[in-house]
Amino acid sequence: MIDIQQAKDLLAAAELIHSAETVAQAVTRVAGEITAKLGKTNPLLLCVMSGGVPFAGHLMTQLDFPLDFDYMHVTRYGQDTSGGALSWRSAPWTPVKGRTVLVLDDILDEGLTLAAIVERMHELGVKACYTAVATDKLNGKKKPIEADFVALTVPDRFVFGYGMDVRGGWRNLPAIYAMKES
């Protein structure tokens, strides 16, 4: 956990990558793409906790078709700034077998977490599994998965805001920032 003054100092020194308005416009665009692709499937939306919450919440309000909603908690980061071992903290409560599923997450970084989630969904017998991310990090690495729907891209830097935290804080920002480069 970061203390309030440290959090304020980090934000003051950070670089704005995408404004709140840009984020909102990108989510609206993705909602249209998802509606066109999944609007007749009554999908199950699965939010990846905790980072996917802002994206899922904003996106859902713009989908004008019936859907079910649930969550899962899978992480590689915890309070760290680089990925570690995959931790499955909570599986979806809603059965996924035979369903069209849309997994919603905050960032596609190295792709290991999202790839593992999709693999698990197939093991559980989904009819189809799609992925949507608020951000795709342009890190130049070969990723094991590409998201089906991407709102925004971000540079290969430590980013935070709009669901992504920095030392446990600032997930609640409506914009996306990058840590100051040293």
Q: What confidence tens digit (pLDDT) does each residue in 79-130 have?
A: 444 555 777 777 788 999 999 999 999 999 999 989 999 999 999 999 999 9
Q: Is 109 part of the annotated catalytic residue set?
A: yes
Domain spanning 27-78+85-178 has what CATH number?
3.40.50.2020
Average pLDDT over residues 37-43: 97
Strand pairing class (100-108; 87-90): unpaired
CA dihedral 108, 111, 114, 119 (to 10 degrees): 160
Q: Does the pLDDT of residue 76 top 90, yes or no?
A: no
Residue 132 has pLDDT above 60, yes or no: yes
Measured distance CA(17)–CA(31) in Å, rounded:
21
Q: Tokens 């989510």 appear where?
A: 27
Q: Residues 175, 161: contact at Cβ < 8 Å? A: yes
Average pLDDT of the chain is: 92
**Rg value, the chain, Cα:** 16
In the chain, alpha helices (H): 4-13, 20-38, 53-60, 112-123
Cα–Cα distance list, 61 to 34, 71, 154, 179 (Å): 13, 16, 24, 30
Q: And the tokens for 44?
A: 């199950």
The two three-digit tokens of residue 153, written as one number = 């891209």
Amino acid at 88: W
Q: Kindly give, in sequence order, each residue whose CB lies less than 8 Å from that of residue 135, ignoring residues fewer than 6 positions away.
A: 106, 107, 108, 150, 151, 152, 153, 154, 159, 162, 164, 176
**What pTM, to 2 d.p., does this model score?**
0.91
The one catalytic residue in 9, 64, 68, 109 is 109
Cα 68 to chain center, whole Å?
A: 18
Question: What are 59-75's pLDDT values in tens digits?
Answer: 999 999 999 999 999 87
* Residue 166 or residue 90, greater confidence: 166
More confident residue, 149 or 91: 149
